[in-house]
Structure 1
Amino acid sequence: MSPSSSLLQLSFLFSLFLWLGCAIAATPPVPVGNISRVEDAEYFNIYYGHTFKVIKNGVDGMSYLLIQNTSRMATKTKYCTPRIKSFVVPLANYSVDTTYFPVSFFELLGMVGSMKGITSDSITSECVLQWYQSGEIELVNKTDPKQLTQFSAHFIGTTEGQQACNFATFLPSEEDTPLQRAEWIKYLGTFGNLETRANEVFDAVKTNYLCLSRAAANKTTSFKPVVAWLLYSEGMWSFVKEEYKMKYVVDAGGESLDDSISKSIYNVSIPDDLDNFHAILCTIDVVIDETYAPEPTAYTISTFLDNTKAQDNSSFPFLTNGRFWRYDKRIHDAAPLDWFDGGISQPQLVLADLIEAFFPSGNYNTTYFRNLGKEEGVISIVPDKCGRDSSTPMDPVIVPCQ
């Protein structure tokens, strides 16, 4: 190659680099910033690009394209198909179908300030109720699409029914373990560009949960307590065996009732069924009764004995030993239970409650569970009990652990 050819080639490469540099400078990528990586949850994933991120929901198959509001894509791109929807983030505002929706995730993230609409005031959060009563949140009719389209996003907790373009599903309850459910805070965090906060909260919750579980495993007792979750409905008793509840039992140092012992349903009107059910109850150390009660304060040991057609409580060890529990301790207007809200976002508190239920110390105040054996009452959730600015993040409660 001649010297003149080499010079021409170098000149061309130099010009090419200059052109590329100008092109890159003219359209700089918008940095996504902090990111979240899914560690435990099974039903969602997050993927990141230069100016966008995508949430893949494994429950309903939806993909949410979240476009940074400072990118050119934000003004040009809009998707609304049966499988792909797009949102501009961080959300300017949002609404929530608050029928049994865990709004505590928004509190932990500090996103309540952008919550501008709710479909019901049946909420188990003092601070969200306070924000609503102050006029910062409006009550909207979820059957009127026009009222919902005014919001950048409308979060729902179900896959049923028709969904508008701004609807986004949030389904942590589909997961099988407590920590998998709690990690859905990362799912919501992406809508507010709050991945760093979501990571911090989940790390704190997970660390505390695992520490408590290790402490429970070290409890020095001869045998693990046998634990049963019971449900009564229309004259039938059944043993509840949802995966996440069974996981709680194991992590709290207990042992679930063997599947070979219990059948699905016991009809109290059939003598043989009733005898078999009573026989099993006599072997159980701890019972968690999750029978629905329209007025939780009215549900007592007498209610349980009437439903089981038992003469007294002397035959059942969980009653004589005072280890008969319900998870309706925190309620709002006798309807929604905080078990379905804060109990999902902060499983370390549920675990701490169960450890106290299985291994009573007498010096720990439970959050979600009340002991009917000791005639413990309920705590009413009211706005006046919000102890912070409603729009500021709520820190997770860390239970002392040794």
Structure 2
Amino acid sequence: MKPNFAAKINILSIVYIKTLNNITFETNKAQALKKAIFFLFTIFVFSCKNETAKPIAKPVDGHQLELKYAKGFSVTDYSTFKVLNIKNPWPDSEKSYRYVLINKENAAKTTFVKDEFDGIIINPIKKIVVTSTTHIPALELLNAEETLVGFPGTDFISSEKIRMRIDEGKIRELGKNESINTEVLLSLNPNVVIGFGIDGNNKTFETIKKSGIPVIYNGDWVEDSPLAKAEWIKFFGTLYHKEKEADSIFNTIEKNYLEAKKLAQTVKNKPTILSGAMHSDIWYLPNGTSTEAQLLKDANTNYLWQNSQGSGSLKLSFETVFTKAKDADIWINPSNYTSLKALENSSSHNTMFSAFINKNIYTITNTTGKTGGVLYYELGFARPDLVLKDLIKICHPELLKDYKPFFFKPLE
């Protein structure tokens, strides 16, 4: 019998007694008793039927998805369903999110306590909306690009496969990420929307959730190492029931990255590196704990601000930067400037750096897709092995002799 059977008998017994007491118009007590027993039996049968309809899922033990670097999410497999936990959706977040991932067959047989989860998602995903170009490579690597039905700012997408689907009208334009066209999105009726946020105060996402479409905050950009960001392909693998494929893809990326890092350590010379550029009298450059600084370290270079701390970009005066980096060997990523002339026009002070004089400046800005999207901002998170090899080729040209940089080009 069910664990709460005795409790039901007690309740029904009370109903039975009250029924007998209320039957005052019966002269035949035997008839009254028969009716009460019949009434009790009917309620009991009906109650038992409801009891076995849809059991509430109360998982005890589950298998954790293996993650080597990523800290912002976890997945627990309970055989008939999985629980996805987003731990760090934005910097210094005090809120986490939990989602159930379950197939249609098991969903029809299982009930979950509503307040315990932020969404119930039927997987594998058939239709998806993502909101950052960094989400695009995972879909393509997992051969799931056909599930993408909408994106805010399609011109920023560089992937040739995705661009073809956009041109065919299979992916709808959803406006800007800050103000997604909810009317179009709701008409697409995706299984899930993959969003990102800096603080969780996105009214558009709240509207989408109220319509019954789950929204998952993707926190790949919050991770503190290149390989941790790349490991979020396992997050998408879980959505598509492609955990093994995602694991294999990541293992290849990790292997390539670690081999390149090991190769770079064989070189004794460490070129000095300047990064970033000046805007409105403020020079913005990566702090020493950023993934950009980690990549430069793994490429065996001397990034001049590698010992700095903090979150976000460093904001320094020109004088501070020039004093320290005027003789830097290489200048990496001078913001969004696309030519030496543009860099000179922004400030004549830029021409005073040795890296400018020697034309040793390299940028990601000029490697774009058909509609102008910068490829690095789409693929760089997913393929840190390629980013690292680019930096090694630039900083140690005697290594990787047959390698051609994928993202970086010299500023001309």
TM range (shorter): 0.7 to 0.9
Where does residue 302 of structure 2 map in the other structure?
A: 255
Where does residue 142 of structure 2 map in the other structure?
A: 109
Q: Give the secondary structure class of the aligned counterpart of 1:348.
A: helix
> Following TM superposition, by how much is the alpha carbon of 1:168 offset from its aligned partner in structure 2, in angstroms?
1.6
> Following TM superposition, by how much is the alpha carbon of 1:75 offset from its aligned partner in structure 2, in angstroms?
6.2
Where does residue 335 of structure 2 map in the other structure?
A: 291
Q: Does the 8 Å CA contact 1:233/1:291 hold for their aligned counterparts?
A: no
Where does residue 119 of structure 1 map in the other structure?
A: 152
Unpaired runs of at least 5, structure 2: 1-62, 90-95
Alignment of 1:236-315 (within 5 A): 236-241=282-287, 243-258=290-305, 265-267=315-317, 273=319, 276-293=320-337, 299-310=338-349, 312=351
Where does residue 139 of structure 1 map in the other structure?
A: 173
Q: Find out whether 1:94 has 2:128 as its counterpart.
A: yes
CA 1:57–1:280 in structure 2 vs 1: closer, same or farther (change >3 Å)?
Answer: same
Distance in structure 1 (CA, Å) of the matches to 2:343 and 2:240: 45
Distance in structure 2 (CA, Å) of the matches to 1:358 and 1:280: 19
Distance in structure 2 (CA, Å) of the matches to 1:352 and 1:278: 28
CA 1:176–1:260 in structure 2 vs 1: closer, same or farther (change >3 Å)?
Answer: closer
Distance in structure 1 (CA, Å) of the matches to 2:370 and 2:143: 25
CA 1:58–1:311 in structure 2 vs 1: closer, same or farther (change >3 Å)?
Answer: closer
RMSD: 2.9
Amino acid at match of 2:193: H
Q: Does the 8 Å CA contact 1:38/1:46 hold for their aligned counterparts?
A: no
Answer 1 or 2: higher relative contact order, Cα 8 Å, separation at least 6: 1
CA 1:260–1:67 in structure 2 vs 1: closer, same or farther (change >3 Å)?
Answer: closer
Amino acid at match of 2:259: C
Distance in structure 1 (CA, Å) of the matches to 2:282 and 2:174: 38
Where does residue 224 of structure 2 map in the other structure?
A: 176
Distance in structure 2 (CA, Å) of the matches to 1:64 and 1:198: 20
Q: Does the 8 Å CA contact 2:220/2:229 hold for their aligned counterparts?
A: yes
Amino acid at match of 1:238: Y
> Following TM superposition, by how much is the alpha carbon of 1:253 offset from its aligned partner in structure 2, in angstroms?
1.0
Unpaired runs of at least 5, structure 1: 1-33, 294-298, 376-402
Where does residue 11 of structure 1 map in the other structure?
A: none
Over the matched positions of the two proteins, sequence identity in percent amounts to 20
Q: Give the secondary structure class of the aligned counterpart of 1:193.
A: coil
> Following TM superposition, by how much is the alpha carbon of 1:117 offset from its aligned partner in structure 2, in angstroms?
2.1
Which structure: larger Rg?
2
Q: Which has the higher helix share?
A: 2
- Equivalent pairs counted in the alignment come to 324
CA 1:341–1:207 in structure 2 vs 1: closer, same or farther (change >3 Å)?
Answer: same
Distance in structure 2 (CA, Å) of the matches to 1:261 and 1:287: 18
Q: Does the 8 Å CA contact 1:67/1:74 hold for their aligned counterparts?
A: no
Q: Give the secondary structure class of the aligned counterpart of 1:198.
A: helix
* CA offsets 1:251-277 (integer angstroms, 9 cap, x no match): 111122146899954445xxxx3xx53
Distance in structure 2 (CA, Å) of the matches to 1:86 and 1:95: 16
Where does residue 59 of structure 2 map in the other structure?
A: none
Q: Does the 8 Å CA contact 2:65/2:76 hold for their aligned counterparts?
A: no
- Which residue, 390, 395, 399 being the options, matches 1:353? 390
* CA offsets 1:174-203 (integer angstroms, 9 cap, x no match): 101100000000001111000011001000
> Following TM superposition, by how much is the alpha carbon of 1:336 offset from its aligned partner in structure 2, in angstroms?
3.0
TM-score, structure 1 normalization? 0.73
